[in-house]
Structures are given as structure tokens and as C-alpha cells.
Structure 1
Amino acid sequence: MKSGVNTLMAPFGGIGLSMQYHLDGFRAGDPSIASASAKTAKDAVDVLIVGCGPAGLTLATQLSALGDISVRIIERKPGPLEFGQADGLACRSVEMFEAFGFADRVIKEGYHVNEVSFWRPDDDGTPLVRADRIQDVEDDLSEMPHIILSQARVHDFYLESMVKSPSRLVPDYNQELISLTLTDGSDFPISATVGYVDRPGETETIRAKYVVGCDGARSKVRSELGLELKGKSARQLWGVMDVLCHTTFPDIRLKCAIQSADQGSILIIPREGGYLVRLYIELAELAPDERAADRGVTSDQLIEKARKILSPFDFEVAQVAWWSAYEIGQRVCDAFDDVMETERGTKSPRVFIAGDACHTHSPKAGQGMNVSMADAFNLGWKLAAVLHGQSCVELLDTYSKERRAKAQELIDFDRKMARLFSEKPKTKDDAARFQAYFKKHGRYTAGVETHYAPSLVVGDTSHQKLATGYPVGKRFHSGPVIRLADAKPMQLGHTLKADGRWRIIAFAPRSDMGDENGPVGTLCASLKELLQSVMSTDADVDALIDVRAVFQRSHRDMDFSKLPSLLRPQKGPLGLTDYEKVFCSLQQEHDIFRLRGINRFEGAVVVTRPDQYVSLVTPITGPAEIKEFFARVLS
């Protein structure tokens, strides 16, 4: 069995990547606090977000960082979340947190899922034996770990990022949506009537260009659109509790899947802090007309059930921090916006839904919060591009198409995962099926298998062989590099921040030393024309499309001063040189060209979207294809 530690993470994890600041002049104090924006309107906004769950806060954080987009986010609860029900953070989510700037805090506080233990009855009659213990995340699947951390803490990090953003965004609590009205021809075509939970009868009207419902499974926004969650419940009752306990069960600090002979199943998820543990406990099958609340489940019943499943091991609870009972169900909406399929191309979406508002499922695969945040990350940059006038409104149609396909994929996966976990193992082979399914879909549960179909923002795969490790339509898989200017070992993917910019990353052919007449230099000369054509004359050259390069030569053999100007641009009001756009590969097992299947002799160009998904792979000698792609995407 391999070690549970990702071998690429320790030496080149890149957590704590240094920020760039002082571009606009020296400024003392905390560099994470951005200069305030003057755009503070609250009754007429670019985007109104309903709900402060994971999706809503992800979207608000992304949009607030851009400064010149006015955002308002409302929440019917009286304040921030104090104790969240979701806790599993997939590797892909932690990659996203790095783009937002707080992955290091999540990694520091959270429980790291390194290994998974499988327990089931032995053929000799022993009630429970450890059948296997496997690595949770395969090597080089991601530079980030699988983390367990309270949803409330994730919310805290988002809220801190929002208040430090240029817009100084803070949610409006105790406010709920009452109704939405759309009026064509207005600058702010949506009128949202909002009520005050703590002041019954008092309302206000918020006008908005776009509204996004992130208001959960009972979404008012979804109701206003006339959409419904479609699907059915598995009729299986489960309990969940976070406890401080005394037990002789040896793997209590490992993620465990436990299937007993006749008492049901338990999924053990150790929590952050070293002592707390979460248990998902199988209870009973519900009748067709029965709901979870009808059973009157108590925490004592959950404890007693856990004892029976864990027998012959002792299990006593010192304190119950939180508990609940729920039924498994998988449901999804037909669309994630206010445009029906028959209207696509003739009507532009104005109202969107994300997260539990458009898809619900069981917590077994640990994907709920992760997929909800990914919904918002997909939508945020698209809204910003349209609001800034950089892209056509057709870009917004890709949100529902891309994310509904992902949600349906999750529903199908979750249904089978839940069924296999609940099956009573009759033989060792029967019990092993769940373990085999878990192993097979490890990439899926890590959140890295999302694959978007060709669209306005996903190109063709005609040149995929040049960079086989960067499949078009999948997330940009980071890899270790060394920055040329300061010899800093780091992760290349950590340069892809959530700032709304596209990235063009040129991987140089082996012979290229970086001079202006070489392959990358020639490419940069052509790309400079593209960048100047899509930006205003007073903007930095990388304000919309950020061009970077990775060379195969040792960083000590290269001369920064000979690089093309596009890779050492002068920016900001003081014309300061950006020294952080050029990298070199490391040697042997950590070589990014080898790790990501990049053609050493021809090189490759990888174009990534603002949400870090690969849009296009082209030859170094193919700037015309890049220009053609952006001619479609950028208005």
C-alpha cells in the first residue's frame, strides 16, 4: 500500500504563495485589505444574491473582489452560520480556496483525510474486521489534500474575504425574498420585494440586473421561476451526529466505512481538532408516505444504534455536539436559470439558481457543499464578463448547460453510492463491492473529474496530444515549477487566482531559451496584438488575459532581461515590472512537462478560463487559433 501522503505536496505545495501588492504605490498595513471601491449602491445593484450558504458566499466573494460590480447578498437567518451540517472539502474545493486566498487556513485547521478503512463481518463469524485500509487520494491527483472542516469556518473565511474586498461587502441578515418581477427594457429589469424577518410587515424593493438564488432546497427564487426539484427519495432513514466519545474501536481517527451483518452501516468521519468525530448511521427504511420527522428520532437512539453496529467494540458518548435525522433523496431541476430550452438563443437569462436550490442528494459522497461552491465559481466570472461588456450575453447560457450536466452526474453517482453502502453484505464478495466502487470513483469524490462539453468557452481537442495531462474541458491540474526571477519553488496552478482573468500558459519547446526571436517570443509578439485589441488603452496589458510561460531550461541558465516584453510587462501608474510571469520546470520526477504529458520538442499552449478549466490546447505556433477562440468569447 502506498503512503497516504501525496508525494508532490510536501516539497512543492506552494501554500502561502506570496501576494503581489504595491503596484499602485507603497501602502502600509495588511495587504489582504483592498482599496475601497466607491460603488456602494444597495437599492439598485448589478447582482442580488439570495442566501448565505456555500454557493451564495462563493459567488459573493468572487464578485466583491472585482470592486466595480455592485452586489447585495441577503439572508433570512439572523447572522452567520455557527454550526454547519456539511464538512467534507474535496481536493478541488481546496484548489479553489487557494484562488480565493484562504486555502492555507483551511489546511491548517482541518482534518486531513489520508486513508480510508473498510470494516465488515468476517466469513468465520467475527462481527467486524478491518477488510482493507487504502490511500484516500491517489498520488498527484491534486497538490491539495481532502479536508474535513466545519462549514461554519468555511463561511467565516468567505465573509472575511468579502469584507476585505474593494466593495467591503457584508450580508444583510434577517431579510427574505418575497417576490420577483421582471420588466423588459430597464437598466435594472428585476424588482425584488424583500421582507424583514425581525420586523414583520416591513419591506423594501431592490432593483437588480441579475438575481441568483442560493437559498437552499426550499428556494423561494426557484419557486418564483416556476421550477421544481424532480426525483424521488430512496426512503432510507439515516441519522448523523458529531460527538466526543470513548471507544475501543481502533480506527476512530480514520475515515471508515463500516458494514455490519444485520445492524446496518456507519460512515465515520473524524473532525478537526483531534477529538470530535462525525457518524452517519443507517437507521431504517421509511414507508412510502413517511418522512424522517415522523419517526421521532432522538440522539439517544442514534447512540444506541451506533453501539450495535460497532459491537463488539465499546462505544460511549461523552458529549453530543450536534445531531439530526434525514432521508436520502436525489433531485434536480430541469434548468438552472429562467430560460427554457425552447427559448435558448432568443432570450437571455436574468435569474439563476445554484447549490441546493437546483440539486439535492445524500451526504454519503461528500459532494453537496463542494458541488454548490463549484456552481457559483462557474457562474461568477461569467456574470462579471457580461457586466463588464467583455463577453456576449450568450456566455450566460453555458452556466445551466454545464452545471446541470454535472448535477445529474452527481445524482447518478450518489444514488449508486448510497445503495451500495446500505446493502447488507451476505458474503465477503458482496461487501467488497462498495469498497471497489469507492476506489474506482476516487477521482470523482476528489472533485477533479468534472469535464465540460464543447461550447462557446470550451474548444476542440484537435491538439490534445501536445498536452495530454491538460484535457480540454477539465480543470487545470497544477504542477511544481520554479519561478525564474526569484528561484521560488511553487505550484503553477496557484497563479490562477479568482480575479476574472483568462490565462494563456505557454509551455516552451526544449530548445527555447526565452529570447524574443524564439518560439515563445514569437508567440508573445502575436498575442500582444490580441491583448491590445481587447483592452482599453489605459489598462494594463494583462488586465483581461494573463500570459505566462514555463521553460524546460534550468532557471540558472536563463536571462530574465532577454524575455519578450509581454512576459515582463510594465504595469500600474508607476510602470513597475511584473517579475512573476515566467517559470522553469524542475528536474526528474517533479518535471511538469513529464507529469502533465507536455510534448518536449514542440511545446504547447494551454488556455484556461477564469474558473481554472482548460478551454483550449494549441501548438506554440498556433496563435491564429487562440485569436479565433477569443474572437468568439470576447465581444
Structure 2
Amino acid sequence: MQFHHHGYVSGDPRVLPAGVEDRPSELPDEVDVLIVGSGPAGMLLAAQMSQYPGITTRIIEKRDGRLVLGQADGIQPRSVETFQAFGFAERIIAEAYNIGWMNFWGPNPDNPDEIVRTARTADYAYDICEFPHLIVNQARVLDYFAEAAAHGPARITPDYGVEFLGLTVHEEGEHPVEVTVRDANGERTVRARYVVGCDGARSGVRAAIGRTHVGAMAAHAWGVMDVLVNTDFPDWRTKCAINSEAGNILHIPREGGYLSRMYIDLGEVSADDNRSVRHTTIDAIIEKANAILHPYTLDVKEVAWHSVYEVGHRVTDGFDDVDAGSDRTPRVFLTGDACHTHSAKAGQGMNVSMQDGFNLGWKLGSVLTGRAPEALLATYGAERRPVAQQLIDFDREWSSLMARKPEEISDPNELATFYLGTAEFPSGFMTQYTSSMITGTDAHQALAGGFPLGKRFKSAEVVRIGDGNVTHLGHHARADGRWRVYAFADRDGSALAAWAEAATPVFARFTPADADVDAVFDVKAIYQQPYEELEVAAAPALFQPKTGPLGLTDWEKVYTSGPYKWTTTDIFEARELSRDGVVIVVRPDQYVAAILPLDAVGELEGFLEGAFLPAS
């Protein structure tokens, strides 16, 4: 990581210099952004907004303190990639359970009352990217985002013990959203420019703007429990899908080496059940688990948490407070469970919720700092609602497969085949945004086949010229609200040099004159020549910016492709990049926004004119 560019740092470099002097301890009467709820979407959003000290952001939570025991635990590779951008991927990987395998069990053909292992499958994560598939308590994820928010320049910390009661959006005013809350001193009013509802499936913010969930329950119940046990089941520390004559189990080992989570099939729910299934006792759930696992047994020593739920698949009819056809600027947004709910077994809830927050955060920051027009905010719902619908469709199919009876299964390997064959979706890498003011056209896609337009930037190893170290190109990007521009050179670098000269004033148009030259665009060069033939000092000035109060040269913006020493990867080959060069523009949330040839600086400027306001 880079630090010292604002002067010598002797303490923890993850604690960024404060950009605010006196943050009020009490919730102010007026704020720019009010986040309601401190779940995954809300805490990521707070961490993102903490990069904007000039924006007053507060996050309210009706709990009295941090979440102690979270219900979500599955962390998909795309989420770990996101953690990398917020600076804590390595630490959370160290404490999490890494899903290396998923095994499948079914009835023994010779004795159907007993289960046998039918397949061992390696997990999909490392076949798709460099990040693992993890299991870790939701509370720890929130802790890490809380740390990032508190250590960011805006120094954001949750206002606990504050309950959201309602809101009204007024037509006029600098802070047009009037929010009623209740704290220890009673009811009061807070006015905000924007409000984000991250307050869960029973969202009060959703109700306040008149949005409703569309969908239904699936009439099937599951018991879920986190348990410490002694057992003779041989795959206790391996993720398993278990199908038996007595029902189904999704078994997921958890962090720490001993704890595991089990989703136990409680069967179909009758129409006149009236939710009585939700009162199923933990003893009954354990008894059912033992019946499914026969001939193996569970001796449960402690139940850390348990619940019963009915599978539901619902998407809210809108992700903000603006109706279709209106050109009004959205003022209230919904994220996470407030706008999409589904089963827990696909491990998507927390992951998709965090991506909601990531998508929205930099957009709010860009608009409120004057970098982008307010029209940018309408792209949040336009981009995220289709993703939620895709999730519901996937989860409905996965849940149905998980709930089948043995006699309904013609191919015992069907579930394993589906799990691996659809891996890119649950891993978080199928999301692809369509053309908009922040995502260009695919006219030049042939120049970069491995970087599909609208999908997340898929990193690869490169060699840093300044020190000869091998690093992942995408891992240098931080969730700091900046756009990334990766300029891949032509064979001899001459076209790249011409591009850099022509593009420099274009980037300057959208960068405040009193800010660092790379405050909005982090521009990097990737050459094709061998490492030994290149010198950082010979690169165009665009790739050697002098930043910070001391005007220090940044030595980490010039790279070359491998293979070299500690990497066998040639990024040009691995990502199908044109040897004539290509420019990849990447949004702050890591999605590819534009693909352009080196001689298309005018086209680059035209794209940026649609996404940005000229800097004052």
C-alpha cells in the first residue's frame, strides 16, 4: 500500500488523515446523506462515503450497539474482491473458513434409508478468479467496514439507538427530505439531501416511499442452526448438499474450526399453516437433522443461533422514490433486503446487498462533490434492479433443486452439475451493466475480449517497473471514488506516448484545479516490452504524477506484462488485449465503463462529457 505522500507516517497507515475537524457527537439537524440501517449495504456505504470529508454523512441504527451475531455468513469471491478495495481482504481471509470443496450426498442405492457420498467437487472460486469463497460471521464483515468508515477522512461512525419513524420528500429546499427519528431524548426531525434505506426486509424507508415487495413465499420451510457438535459424519468440515429419504440439508462449516451452519429441510408448508411452522423447536430441528443424516449422528453440544424461515422470492417495485416516466431526481434509495429478499442457501443476500451499496456510494459522492450531474443517481435503480431480478430467478431454481425428494431426481449428479455450471453467477461475476451515461458501447470490444464491457474489471498479474515486483493490476485500486484508466501500450510504446499527450488536457478538464492531478482519474500504463528494457523515468508525465502537499512523484503507475520471474501471466494474452494497444476505463465500483483504441482521444472525451461535469 502507498502512504507517506502527505508526509511521514509513523502510525497505522490505514488510518487516513482526517478531513473533518469537529464531527458533532449528536445527530445534526441537517445532513447531506442519511443512511438508515447498519447492515452490509449500510456499512459499506458508510465506508465509501467516508472518502468524502466535504459531505456530511450519518448512519443511524436502532440497535444500541454493533451487531453481535449475524445471520448471513457466505462471502462470494466478488465480495472478497470488494474487501480488497476497502483494504481488509487479507485480514478477513485469515480468520474465515475457505470453501475449498463441496461434496454431495444421496440415498444409498443398496439401502435407501442411509446416505452415501455421491460426488466430491472442488469449489469454483479459484477457477474463476484469484479470490476465495469464504464463510465468516456477518458481524465481522460489519466490523471491518465500520473500521474503514471510522478511519476514512470523514470519520464516520454509526449513531446507535436512533430509530427511523418516517419521512417526507418535499419539492423544494436544499435538504428536501424531512426524516422523523426517535432517540433517547424523544422524537425529532432531521433534514437530508438524500436518504438511503438499508433497514432490512421490513424496511420502514420502503414503506415511507410507498414501495412494495413483488413476489411470494415458496410454501417450503427450512430450519437453520449454527451448532457445535460431536459427530461421526465424515464431511463435517466440508460444505455439503445432502439429499435423503427424510429430507435435505445444506451443510456449511464456519470459521474457527468447530462451528457449522445447517439448513434443514422442514418440508412443504400447508396453505392453512398460518406461520405455525416458524415455531418449530430447536429440538425438533436437531431430530430432523439426525434423521436426514442416518446412519450418521449429531451430538449437539451448543446452539449458537437458530431460526425457521419460509423461502420467499421478492423484488421491490422500485429502488428509489421516483416513479417511471418522471424526470425528478431521486432523493430516497433502497438497498439490500429492503428491496430484494430470497432464500439464504445460495449465499447471495449479504453479497448482493454490499454491491448495492458499492454502486450507490460513489455516485452520491460524485454528485455531492460536483463532479457529476444529478442524472447519475437515476442509474442506481436502473442498474441494480435487473441484478436483483436475476438473483431471484437463480435462487428460485437453486432452492427448488435443493428441496427435491429422492424420487424426483433422475440424475444424482444434477445438483453438482448445476452448482459448478452456474458458478459465475453466485460468485458475483455475472453482473453486466448495459449502455448508459457511465457505460459506453461495445464498438471496440474486440480490442479487449477479456474485459467485457459492463462487467467487473478482472485483474491479472503484471510487473511493476519501479521495483520489479509482480502485482495484480486491479488490486492497486481502492474504494476512494476515483475512476481507473488502464492504458495498454502498443508494441513499441509510441502510440501510448501520443495518447498520453493528447489525453492529459482531457483529464484536466474534469479535475479541480486545486486538487491532485490524479484526484479524479488514476491513470496507469502497461507496456509490452520486457522489464529490463523499460525505465519509469522514460514514461510520459501523465504516468508520473506529482501529488500531495510535497509534490512527490508516484512510482506505482507504470507496469509491463509478464511473463517475468515470479509470474507466468502475460496480461495481453490472458485478457485478449490488442497488441496495437487499448484503453480500459473503469468505474469507481470496478466495472468496465469504456473500451477505446489509443487513437480515440476524442471518443474518450465524449464519453467523459456524459459522465462528468467540467471542473470548476
Q: Deviations over 1:535-579 (max 9, x none)?
A: 222211111111111112222220111110010111122111000
Shift of 1:36: 1.8
Q: Deviations over 1:97-119 (max 9, x none)?
A: 00001111111000001111011
Aligned to 2:477: 496
Contact 1:123–1:428 under 8 Å retained in 2: no
Contact 2:125–2:132 under 8 Å retained in 1: no
**Equivalent residue of 1:342, what SS?**
coil
Aligned to 1:34: 16
1:487 has 2:468 as partner = yes
Contact 1:122–1:428 under 8 Å retained in 2: no
Give distance in 2, aligned partners of 1:141 and 1:304: 38
Give distance in 2, aligned partners of 1:627 and 1:94: 33
Give distance in 2, aligned partners of 1:61 and 1:293: 40
Contact 1:230–1:331 under 8 Å retained in 2: yes
Give distance in 2, aligned partners of 1:172 and 1:307: 44
1:297 has 2:280 as partner = yes
Aligned to 1:163: 150
Aligned to 2:605: 627
- 1:204 is matched with which residue: 171, 180, 188? 188
Contact 2:220–2:268 under 8 Å retained in 1: yes
Contact 1:240–1:324 under 8 Å retained in 2: yes
**Equivalent residue of 1:335, what SS?**
coil
Aligned to 1:180: 167
Aligned to 1:533: 509
Give distance in 1, aligned partners of 2:409 and 2:6: 65
Give distance in 2, aligned partners of 1:462 and 1:523: 19
Give distance in 1, aligned partners of 2:394 and 2:278: 28
Shift of 1:505: 0.3
Give distance in 2, aligned partners of 1:552 and 1:448: 28
Give distance in 2, aligned partners of 1:442 and 1:182: 41
Q: For the structure 1 residues 416 and 548, does the alpha-carbon distance in structure 2 shift closer, same or farther, using more than 3 Å as the test?
A: same
Shift of 1:288: 2.0
Give distance in 2, aligned partners of 1:597 and 1:535: 31
Aligned to 2:69: 83
Aligned to 1:436: 417
Q: Deviations over 1:78-126 (max 9, x none)?
A: 1110010000000000000000011111110000011110111133335
- 2:106 is matched with which residue: 120, 124, 130? 120
1:240 has 2:224 as partner = yes
- 1:65 is matched with which residue: 34, 51, 56? 51
CA RMSD of aligned residues (A): 1.4
Contact 1:608–1:614 under 8 Å retained in 2: yes
Q: For the structure 1 residues 293 and 568, does the alpha-carbon distance in structure 2 shift closer, same or farther, using more than 3 Å as the test?
A: farther
Shift of 1:296: 2.0
- 1:593 is matched with which residue: 553, 572, 585? 572
Aligned to 2:595: 617
Give distance in 2, aligned partners of 1:426 and 1:158: 46
Aligned to 2:428: 447
Q: Deviations over 1:242-279 (max 9, x none)?
A: 1111111111111100111x211000100001111110
Give distance in 2, aligned partners of 1:178 and 1:138: 42
Contact 2:119–2:413 under 8 Å retained in 1: no
Give distance in 2, aligned partners of 1:540 and 1:236: 56
Q: Deviations over 1:321-371 (max 9, x none)?
A: 11111110010111100001121xx21100001000000000111000000
1:21 has 2:14 as partner = no
Letter in structure 2 aligned against 1:409: Q
Shift of 1:455: 1.1
Give distance in 2, aligned partners of 1:489 and 1:629: 32
Contact 2:5–2:548 under 8 Å retained in 1: yes
1:273 has 2:256 as partner = yes
**Equivalent residue of 2:533, what SS?**
coil
Letter in structure 2 aligned against 1:92: R
Letter in structure 2 aligned against 1:455: S
Aligned to 2:31: 45
- 1:315 is matched with which residue: 288, 292, 298? 298
Aligned to 1:133: 120
Shift of 1:432: 2.8
Give distance in 1, aligned partners of 2:159 and 2:276: 31
Shift of 1:582: 1.1
- 1:330 is matched with which residue: 291, 295, 313? 313
Shift of 1:286: 1.2
Letter in structure 2 aligned against 1:254: T
State TM-score, norm by structure 1: 0.93
Shift of 1:295: 4.7
Could you tell me the percent identity over the aligned residues?
A: 46
Shift of 1:28: 2.5
- 1:101 is matched with which residue: 87, 109, 112? 87
Q: After the TM superposition, which of the residue ranges 556-565 and 85-94 deviates more from structure 2?
A: 556-565
Give distance in 1, aligned partners of 2:433 and 2:130: 22
Q: For the structure 1 residues 22 and 252, does the alpha-carbon distance in structure 2 shift closer, same or farther, using more than 3 Å as the test?
A: same
Q: For the structure 1 residues 353 and 121, does the alpha-carbon distance in structure 2 shift closer, same or farther, using more than 3 Å as the test?
A: same
Letter in structure 2 aligned against 1:557: E
1:522 has 2:498 as partner = yes
1:323-362 equivalences in 2 (<5 Å): 323-343=306-326, 346-362=327-343
Give distance in 2, aligned partners of 1:459 and 1:295: 48
1:375-394 equivalences in 2 (<5 Å): 375-394=356-375
Aligned to 2:271: 288
Aligned to 2:543: 567
Q: For the structure 1 residues 295 and 56, does the alpha-carbon distance in structure 2 shift closer, same or farther, using more than 3 Å as the test?
A: closer
**Equivalent residue of 1:309, what SS?**
helix
Q: After the TM superposition, which of the residue ranges 304-313 and 427-436 deviates more from structure 2?
A: 427-436
Letter in structure 2 aligned against 1:591: D
Contact 1:478–1:492 under 8 Å retained in 2: yes
Q: After the TM superposition, which of the residue ranges 407-416 and 246-255 deviates more from structure 2?
A: 246-255
Give distance in 2, aligned partners of 1:480 and 1:86: 32
Give distance in 2, aligned partners of 1:423 and 1:144: 32
Q: After the TM superposition, which of the residue ranges 138-147 and 387-396 deviates more from structure 2?
A: 138-147
- 1:603 is matched with which residue: 581, 589, 594? 581
Letter in structure 2 aligned against 1:401: A
Aligned to 1:15: none
Q: For the structure 1 residues 507 and 194, does the alpha-carbon distance in structure 2 shift closer, same or farther, using more than 3 Å as the test?
A: same
Give distance in 2, aligned partners of 1:316 and 1:254: 18
Give distance in 1, aligned partners of 2:274 and 2:163: 27
* Gap runs ≥5 in structure 1: 1-18, 513-517
Letter in structure 1 aligned against 2:48: Q
Shift of 1:185: 2.6
Give distance in 2, aligned partners of 1:356 and 1:546: 33
1:216-235 equivalences in 2 (<5 Å): 216-235=200-219
Shift of 1:139: 4.2
Q: After the TM superposition, which of the residue ranges 179-188 and 446-455 deviates more from structure 2?
A: 179-188
Letter in structure 2 aligned against 1:34: L
Letter in structure 1 aligned against 2:318: A
Contact 1:479–1:592 under 8 Å retained in 2: yes
**Equivalent residue of 1:556, what SS?**
helix
Give distance in 1, aligned partners of 2:219 and 2:509: 58
Q: For the structure 1 residues 371 and 224, does the alpha-carbon distance in structure 2 shift closer, same or farther, using more than 3 Å as the test?
A: same
Shift of 1:150: 0.2
Give distance in 1, aligned partners of 2:194 and 2:131: 34
Aligned to 1:7: none
Q: Deviations over 1:416-462 (max 9, x none)?
A: 11011101122763443222221211111111111111111111111
Contact 1:506–1:549 under 8 Å retained in 2: yes
Q: For the structure 1 residues 138 and 347, does the alpha-carbon distance in structure 2 shift closer, same or farther, using more than 3 Å as the test?
A: same
Shift of 1:314: 2.3
After the TM superposition, which parts of structure 1 deviate over 6 Å for at least 4 consecutive aligned residues? none
Shift of 1:184: 2.6
Contact 1:503–1:608 under 8 Å retained in 2: yes
